[in-house]
Amino acid sequence: MSFAKITGTGVFIPEKILSNKDLESLVDTSDEWIKARTGISERRILGDDTTTSDMCAKACEQALKNANVSPQEIDGIIVATITGDYITPSVACLLQDKLKTRKVFAFDISAGCSGFIYALKIARALIENKEVEKLLVVGAENISKITDYTDRGTCILFGDAAGAVVLEKSEEAGILSVCLGASGAEGELLYVPGGGSKDPLGYRFLKMEGKEVFKEAVKVIQSNSLEAIAKANLEPKDIDMFIPHQANLRIIEAARERLELPLDKCYVNIDKYGNTSSASVLLALHEAINESKIKEGDNILFSVFGAGFAWGSAVVRW
């Protein structure tokens, strides 16, 4: 039987820092207020001369190097994003050209913050069904471009970044489980009203009902995580590292406590980057590896919740 395994990770983090102090000059807020409610100290903002596909290319180049894989060996590219360079073509198609891979399939998926987990599910199925052997799976957001910096409820939260993994055919199990879900009834609790076919010229920035999203996120992350753990034939005590979506420190802490996981088994970097949407858990995974907090054989739990509502959890053996 074929299995799918992550063999390399890469990230791109913009240089420009937008601190809480900087935001004090834009909206009625303070460093203390933001930290207390979100755990965020700063976030990164992409320059106007750099695109989502540019970020993806840098993250993929690093992931390919770390996996010791050349672009010519890649069989397909899947990008999770809601902030493409254009409505069409896809970021993945632009990325194929930037990386100079063979003319392999390339497509984007839109699942908000949960996009990477959705992409991982698709990539795993393609490899385990022997359709391909090596894929690039990317999560990237240029989310500052759809953030209203007069809206205190959203502008304090989001930052830009990209992350990528190389996923390869393996004789050993790597992706143990991926469990997804969605509920469109709550779609307008976290959405961009304008810019689509319904209202092409409307308000094109994120709108969010924070309290409602918070309550649902805590509940769903717990239940979805337990579902993924059970599907991997494990128990919560078998998880060596919990990498939750970096959306809000209070959500992370509530989820960790409900899963009864100790502090040292939960990776958090939201203070540095804020909510980077589909790139979030990829940044955390890459940093945890570089900090030697993940070792061979560890069971890693990812869990993400976001716009749609859409959510996903995955258990990966490193």
Active site residue 245: yes
d(CA 255, CA 272): 20
Instruction: Determine the longest span between alpha carbons in the chain, in angstroms.
Output: 57
Who's near 262: CB < 8 A, 6+ residues apart? Answer: none
**Of 147, 189, 155, nearest to 28 (Cα)?**
155
Amino acid, single-letter form, for residue 96? Q
- Candidate list 60, 142, 245, 299, residue with the active-site label: 245
Question: What is the C-alpha radius of gyration for the chain, rounded to an integer number of angstroms?
Answer: 18
- Candidate list 113, 155, 179, 266, residue with the active-site label: 113
- Candidate list 142, 224, 275, 299, residue with the active-site label: 275
The residue behind tokens 């069971």 is 299
Active site residue 286: no
The residue behind tokens 């698709």 is 122
The residue behind tokens 């993940």 is 294
Q: Which residues form the catalytic set?
A: 113, 245, 275
